[in-house]
Chains A and B, each alone.
Chain A
């Protein structure tokens, strides 16, 4: 019984300690100024994280635009089209994709994606676009596995009925199976959002970390996670509190995303 409460106490401990550390600076600067402040310059006592909120939103949306269409197509492929032999090879491959350390993805992005963007599209290469592509790849396993499970868990009659009505295979998928599996797929996307928003190391390597509002997807930005990751080593005093406060904002956004995903799956 005592052991069983470990997850509750763990969550409570984490929440309490991060809030204790971060709350003082939020009260001092003011919640509004902290979240909507445009300038982040801890050495001058300026703590505004709005550019990073925009940065996080940009790379997360970018990741979803890259990862979701490919991921859902892949899930349909696995559940409907793939021959058994291909499927038996594909699933472990996706698991491997999920297991590769994020720093390896970041490194690969730095070596291949960043120079490609710099040479062919312009800008410094370290950019929203580079981070979106790498994060898009990194959320694929989440999107694919959850969407696939929800497609496979549909009663067979759905598909058979659609085909019996004279629908083609694609029509059956498009008009019957995908809508029926919607809640699972939406949950997959929301979890993918959370994963993309929470990733740190891969993003630090390829996003540029500038603290200014971006003007295009070829501009560098800083995300909430990279703000913590890049400055934590050096920070002291108010600066460190402000990084914990950044953590609080990140924590709240992620908790909302998780609760949404849990709610969607429950309702089903």
Chain B
């Protein structure tokens, strides 16, 4: 078929607009379905009660606690390592074998599927170190998983601190360490926080790696060595085993709201960060 340039132009534009509309439609369909059926389930007792009868009745208090503890633990462990690596990459070295190796491993870590993190966490933390299915095992496994995200975002943030800041600091007689901790670091803090918040989002959404390392206990944990289940795992079990569609939707709605809030906060940080940079 021999089409004129104008016709091709029209067809191409139609396709491009259609694709954009389709993507938004799918996103809206998924979110609307979850929120419409899930929001009515969420109330005070849903948030504060422990699940009963495998989750058929009761709320999601213990999965909320499990999610918060595992996420906190993962972030607390990963942040110092991640920021340390980022500082090293951005401030201390010229490109060399070690930096290339660090970058390669960080980027490789970012691509490893979560089920492989789960396998590793299971054999290393749960079995080899004998931590059992626990909040600690889950948190450590997720710390490995979010490390590359923190490294990448922190490095970008540190690199985007203008050179003039550093020069000004040095010209006032500050040492390199002083410059990094008093000047570079505070200027990059927003970008770093943004990376941390994104990692929190990943921890909350993760299922496979947590299921293999933190177990699926429904009780409130009394120590960090107790097993637990996160909201995503709870949702998976409720949904797949057909235990309670209602509570599954409620849990999913909570997850979506959380992820939405996390994105909003992250965007606010990035926007202010960009504005400040100008």
Using a CB–CB cutoff of 8 Å, the interface residues on chain A facing chain B are 1-8, 10-14, 17-18, 21, 69-71, 73-74, 76-78, 81-82, 90, 92-97, 99-108, 110-112, 137, 140, 144, 168-171, 173-174, 191, 194, 197-201, 204-205, 225, 228-229, 232, 243-244, 247, 250-251, 254-255, 257-259, 261-262
**Distance in Å from the Cβ of B141 to the closest Cβ of chain A?**
10
Q: How many A-B residue pairs have CB under 8 A?
A: 227
Most buried by B among A93, A97, A104, A254: A104
**Distance in Å from the Cβ of A177 to the closest Cβ of chain B?**
12
Per DSSP, chain A at the interface is helix
29 inter-chain pairs at a CB distance below 8 angstroms, sorted by A residue, are A3-B81, A4-B89, A6-B147, A7-B106, A7-B151, A8-B102, A8-B105, A11-B108, A14-B117, A17-B128, A92-B263, A96-B27, A99-B262, A101-B204, A101-B206, A101-B259, A103-B235, A104-B256, A107-B248, A108-B29, A171-B5, A198-B114, A244-B119, A247-B115, A247-B119, A254-B111, A254-B116, A258-B107, A262-B104
**Interface 1/0 per residue, B203-245 and A, CB below 8 Å:** 0111110001000000000000000000010011001100000
**Distance in Å from the Cβ of B244 to the closest Cβ of chain A?**
13
The answer to whether A250 touches B109 (Cβ under 8 A) is no
Indicate if B171 sits at the interface (CB-CB under 8 A).
no
The answer to whether B19 touches A14 (Cβ under 8 A) is no
The answer to whether A93 touches B27 (Cβ under 8 A) is yes
Q: Which residues of A contact B274 (CB under 8 A)?
A: none
The answer to whether A76 touches B16 (Cβ under 8 A) is yes
Contact of B260 among A96, A137, A232 (CB under 8 A): A96
The answer to whether A107 touches B252 (Cβ under 8 A) is yes
List 8 extra interface pairs beyond A244-B119, A255-B108, CB under 8 A: A14-B112, A18-B116, A76-B16, A107-B239, A194-B111, A229-B115, A243-B119, A247-B115
Q: Which residue of A lies closest to B101 (CB)?
A: A8
Q: Which residue of A lies closest to B128 (CB)?
A: A17
Q: Which residues of A contact B83 (CB under 8 A)?
A: 3
* Top-10 shortest CB links A-B: A3-B84, A198-B113, A73-B19, A4-B88, A101-B205, A6-B81, A258-B111, A11-B105, A99-B259, A170-B12
**Distance in Å from the Cβ of A258 to the closest Cβ of chain B?**
4
The answer to whether A201 touches B119 (Cβ under 8 A) is no
The answer to whether A228 touches B120 (Cβ under 8 A) is no
Knowing A4-B88, A137-B26 are in contact, say whether A99-B116 is a contact too (CB < 8 A). no
